[in-house]
Amino acid sequence: MIKIAIDGPGGAGKSTLAKAVAAKMGIVYVDTGALYRTIGYYVRQHDVAPDDTEGVIACLDDIRIEVKYEDGKQNVYLNGENPGDKIRTPEMSMYASKVSAIPKVRAFLLDTQRDIAKKNSVIMDGRDIGTVILPDADLKIFLTASEECRAKRRYDELIARGQNVRFEDVLAEMNQRDTQDSTRDVAPTAAADDAILLDNTDMTFEQTVDKVIELANNCK
Protein backbone atom coordinates (compact mmCIF):
# COMPACT_ATOMS: atom_id res chain seq x y z
CA MET A 1 0.00 0.00 0.00
CA ILE A 2 1.21 3.46 -0.83
CA LYS A 3 -0.32 6.83 0.01
CA ILE A 4 0.60 9.90 -1.99
CA ALA A 5 -0.65 13.37 -1.09
CA ILE A 6 -0.69 16.17 -3.64
CA ASP A 7 -1.57 19.63 -2.40
CA GLY A 8 -1.26 23.04 -3.94
CA PRO A 9 -3.14 26.04 -5.29
CA GLY A 10 -5.67 25.96 -8.13
CA GLY A 11 -4.47 25.36 -11.66
CA ALA A 12 -1.17 23.78 -10.64
CA GLY A 13 -2.31 20.67 -12.51
CA LYS A 14 -2.83 18.47 -9.44
CA SER A 15 -5.77 16.51 -10.77
CA THR A 16 -4.42 15.80 -14.26
CA LEU A 17 -1.10 14.80 -12.73
CA ALA A 18 -2.64 12.63 -10.03
CA LYS A 19 -4.91 10.92 -12.55
CA ALA A 20 -1.97 10.05 -14.82
CA VAL A 21 0.20 8.83 -11.94
CA ALA A 22 -2.68 6.71 -10.61
CA ALA A 23 -3.18 5.09 -14.01
CA LYS A 24 0.53 4.35 -14.42
CA MET A 25 0.94 2.95 -10.91
CA GLY A 26 -2.39 1.11 -10.85
CA ILE A 27 -3.57 2.93 -7.72
CA VAL A 28 -6.72 4.93 -6.93
CA TYR A 29 -6.96 8.63 -7.69
CA VAL A 30 -8.97 10.54 -5.11
CA ASP A 31 -10.18 13.99 -6.10
CA THR A 32 -11.11 15.60 -2.77
CA GLY A 33 -12.13 18.92 -4.34
CA ALA A 34 -15.10 17.07 -5.86
CA LEU A 35 -16.44 16.46 -2.35
CA TYR A 36 -16.45 20.15 -1.45
CA ARG A 37 -17.90 20.96 -4.88
CA THR A 38 -20.72 18.50 -4.27
CA ILE A 39 -21.58 20.13 -0.94
CA GLY A 40 -21.45 23.53 -2.69
CA TYR A 41 -23.77 22.20 -5.37
CA TYR A 42 -26.35 21.05 -2.81
CA VAL A 43 -26.14 24.39 -0.99
CA ARG A 44 -26.67 26.28 -4.27
CA GLN A 45 -29.61 24.06 -5.21
CA HIS A 46 -31.26 24.91 -1.90
CA ASP A 47 -30.68 28.65 -2.26
CA VAL A 48 -28.38 28.85 0.74
CA ALA A 49 -25.52 31.36 0.48
CA PRO A 50 -22.16 29.52 0.65
CA ASP A 51 -20.90 31.86 3.38
CA ASP A 52 -24.05 31.45 5.49
CA THR A 53 -22.32 29.20 8.01
CA GLU A 54 -25.44 28.19 9.94
CA GLY A 55 -27.40 27.61 6.72
CA VAL A 56 -24.66 25.42 5.25
CA ILE A 57 -24.30 23.45 8.49
CA ALA A 58 -28.07 22.84 8.51
CA CYS A 59 -27.79 21.42 4.98
CA LEU A 60 -25.29 18.78 6.15
CA ASP A 61 -28.08 16.89 7.97
CA ASP A 62 -29.72 16.23 4.61
CA ILE A 63 -26.60 15.37 2.64
CA ARG A 64 -25.39 11.82 2.05
CA ILE A 65 -22.17 11.57 0.08
CA GLU A 66 -20.87 8.36 -1.44
CA VAL A 67 -17.70 8.01 -3.48
CA LYS A 68 -17.68 5.21 -6.04
CA TYR A 69 -15.04 4.11 -8.51
CA GLU A 70 -16.74 3.10 -11.74
CA ASP A 71 -14.84 2.22 -14.93
CA GLY A 72 -11.69 3.61 -13.31
CA LYS A 73 -13.34 6.97 -12.66
CA GLN A 74 -14.34 8.60 -9.39
CA ASN A 75 -18.01 9.48 -9.11
CA VAL A 76 -19.39 11.37 -6.14
CA TYR A 77 -23.02 10.60 -5.42
CA LEU A 78 -25.16 13.17 -3.67
CA ASN A 79 -28.15 11.51 -2.02
CA GLY A 80 -27.97 8.73 -4.58
CA GLU A 81 -27.49 10.91 -7.66
CA ASN A 82 -24.37 11.82 -9.58
CA PRO A 83 -24.32 15.54 -10.46
CA GLY A 84 -21.50 14.89 -12.96
CA ASP A 85 -20.00 17.98 -14.60
CA LYS A 86 -22.50 20.30 -12.91
CA ILE A 87 -20.00 20.63 -10.05
CA ARG A 88 -17.26 21.82 -12.44
CA THR A 89 -18.44 25.35 -13.24
CA PRO A 90 -16.61 28.49 -12.01
CA GLU A 91 -19.65 29.22 -9.82
CA MET A 92 -19.29 25.82 -8.14
CA SER A 93 -15.55 26.43 -7.69
CA MET A 94 -16.39 29.50 -5.66
CA TYR A 95 -19.15 27.73 -3.71
CA ALA A 96 -16.72 24.90 -2.92
CA SER A 97 -14.07 27.32 -1.75
CA LYS A 98 -16.53 29.12 0.56
CA VAL A 99 -18.18 26.07 2.09
CA SER A 100 -14.77 24.44 2.58
CA ALA A 101 -13.80 27.20 5.01
CA ILE A 102 -16.51 26.00 7.43
CA PRO A 103 -14.93 23.62 10.00
CA LYS A 104 -18.06 21.42 10.25
CA VAL A 105 -18.00 20.88 6.50
CA ARG A 106 -14.39 19.74 6.70
CA ALA A 107 -15.19 17.46 9.65
CA PHE A 108 -18.17 16.05 7.71
CA LEU A 109 -15.88 14.94 4.87
CA LEU A 110 -12.92 13.76 6.91
CA ASP A 111 -13.80 10.08 7.38
CA THR A 112 -14.94 9.67 3.77
CA GLN A 113 -11.46 10.69 2.63
CA ARG A 114 -9.55 8.68 5.23
CA ASP A 115 -11.65 5.55 4.66
CA ILE A 116 -10.77 5.46 0.97
CA ALA A 117 -7.07 5.71 1.84
CA LYS A 118 -7.41 2.97 4.46
CA LYS A 119 -8.76 0.51 1.91
CA ASN A 120 -6.66 1.38 -1.15
CA SER A 121 -3.30 2.57 -2.37
CA VAL A 122 -4.09 6.15 -3.31
CA ILE A 123 -2.88 9.37 -4.79
CA MET A 124 -5.12 12.02 -3.27
CA ASP A 125 -5.18 15.65 -4.32
CA GLY A 126 -6.49 18.66 -2.41
CA ARG A 127 -5.33 21.44 -0.13
CA ASP A 128 -4.80 19.76 3.25
CA ILE A 129 -4.04 16.16 2.36
CA GLY A 130 -0.45 16.15 3.59
CA THR A 131 -1.19 18.34 6.61
CA VAL A 132 -4.54 17.01 7.89
CA ILE A 133 -6.12 14.13 5.98
CA LEU A 134 -3.11 11.86 5.50
CA PRO A 135 -0.36 13.20 7.78
CA ASP A 136 1.37 9.79 7.47
CA ALA A 137 1.38 9.74 3.67
CA ASP A 138 4.44 7.99 2.18
CA LEU A 139 5.01 10.85 -0.22
CA LYS A 140 3.79 14.44 0.02
CA ILE A 141 4.08 16.82 -2.86
CA PHE A 142 3.21 20.50 -2.86
CA LEU A 143 2.66 21.27 -6.51
CA THR A 144 2.74 24.78 -7.83
CA ALA A 145 3.45 26.90 -10.90
CA SER A 146 3.49 30.60 -11.72
CA GLU A 147 0.19 32.47 -11.42
CA GLU A 148 0.03 33.14 -15.17
CA CYS A 149 0.71 29.52 -16.01
CA ARG A 150 -1.89 28.21 -13.55
CA ALA A 151 -4.58 30.58 -14.85
CA LYS A 152 -3.81 29.59 -18.44
CA ARG A 153 -4.18 25.89 -17.57
CA ARG A 154 -7.47 26.47 -15.77
CA TYR A 155 -8.70 28.56 -18.71
CA ASP A 156 -7.76 25.85 -21.25
CA GLU A 157 -9.48 23.22 -19.10
CA LEU A 158 -12.74 25.21 -18.94
CA ILE A 159 -12.67 25.95 -22.68
CA ALA A 160 -12.08 22.25 -23.37
CA ARG A 161 -15.20 21.51 -21.30
CA GLY A 162 -17.12 23.83 -23.60
CA GLN A 163 -17.51 26.64 -21.06
CA ASN A 164 -17.58 30.20 -22.28
CA VAL A 165 -15.07 32.04 -20.06
CA ARG A 166 -12.63 34.97 -20.34
CA PHE A 167 -9.00 34.62 -19.31
CA GLU A 168 -9.09 37.75 -17.06
CA ASP A 169 -12.09 36.35 -15.19
CA VAL A 170 -10.44 32.97 -14.74
CA LEU A 171 -7.28 34.64 -13.39
CA ALA A 172 -9.24 36.86 -10.98
CA GLU A 173 -11.43 33.98 -9.78
CA MET A 174 -8.40 31.73 -9.29
CA ASN A 175 -6.58 34.36 -7.22
CA GLN A 176 -9.63 35.09 -5.09
CA ARG A 177 -10.13 31.38 -4.43
CA ASP A 178 -6.46 30.76 -3.62
CA THR A 179 -6.47 33.65 -1.18
CA GLN A 180 -9.61 32.29 0.49
CA ASP A 181 -8.24 28.75 0.60
CA SER A 182 -4.83 29.70 1.96
CA THR A 183 -5.95 32.23 4.56
CA ARG A 184 -8.86 30.38 6.17
CA ASP A 185 -8.50 29.40 9.83
CA VAL A 186 -9.03 25.67 9.40
CA ALA A 187 -6.80 23.48 7.21
CA PRO A 188 -5.62 26.22 4.85
CA THR A 189 -3.75 25.30 1.66
CA ALA A 190 -0.26 24.61 2.95
CA ALA A 191 2.76 22.46 2.32
CA ALA A 192 3.40 19.95 5.10
CA ASP A 193 6.84 20.29 6.72
CA ASP A 194 7.90 17.06 5.06
CA ALA A 195 6.40 17.85 1.62
CA ILE A 196 8.51 18.11 -1.50
CA LEU A 197 7.94 21.39 -3.32
CA LEU A 198 7.50 20.89 -7.04
CA ASP A 199 7.19 23.94 -9.27
CA ASN A 200 6.20 22.71 -12.71
CA THR A 201 6.04 26.07 -14.52
CA ASP A 202 8.85 25.05 -16.85
CA MET A 203 8.21 21.33 -16.87
CA THR A 204 6.17 19.43 -19.43
CA PHE A 205 3.30 17.31 -18.22
CA GLU A 206 5.28 14.11 -18.93
CA GLN A 207 8.28 15.39 -16.98
CA THR A 208 6.05 16.15 -14.00
CA VAL A 209 4.45 12.69 -14.13
CA ASP A 210 7.87 11.00 -14.40
CA LYS A 211 9.20 13.03 -11.48
CA VAL A 212 6.34 12.00 -9.20
CA ILE A 213 6.66 8.34 -10.19
CA GLU A 214 10.41 8.48 -9.53
CA LEU A 215 9.76 9.98 -6.09
CA ALA A 216 7.06 7.36 -5.41
CA ASN A 217 9.39 4.51 -6.41
CA ASN A 218 12.08 5.89 -4.10
CA CYS A 219 9.83 5.75 -1.10
CA LYS A 220 8.58 2.18 -1.62
Give the binding site for ligand DC (CB under 6 A): 10, 32-33, 36-37, 93, 96-97, 100, 126-129, 177, 181
Residue 93 vs 144, nearer CB to ligand DC: 93
Neighbours of 114 (CB within 10 A): 14
Residue 128 vs 170, nearer CB to ligand DC: 128
Report how far residue 51's alpha carbon sits from residue 98's, in angstroms, rounded to the nearest whole number.
6
Q: How far is the CB of 37 from ligand DC (least distance, A)?
A: 6
Residue 28 vs 214, nearer CB to ligand DC: 28
Residue 183 vs 217, nearer CB to ligand DC: 183
Q: How far is the CB of 217 from ligand DC (least distance, A)?
A: 25
Q: How far is the CB of 194 from ligand DC (least distance, A)?
A: 18
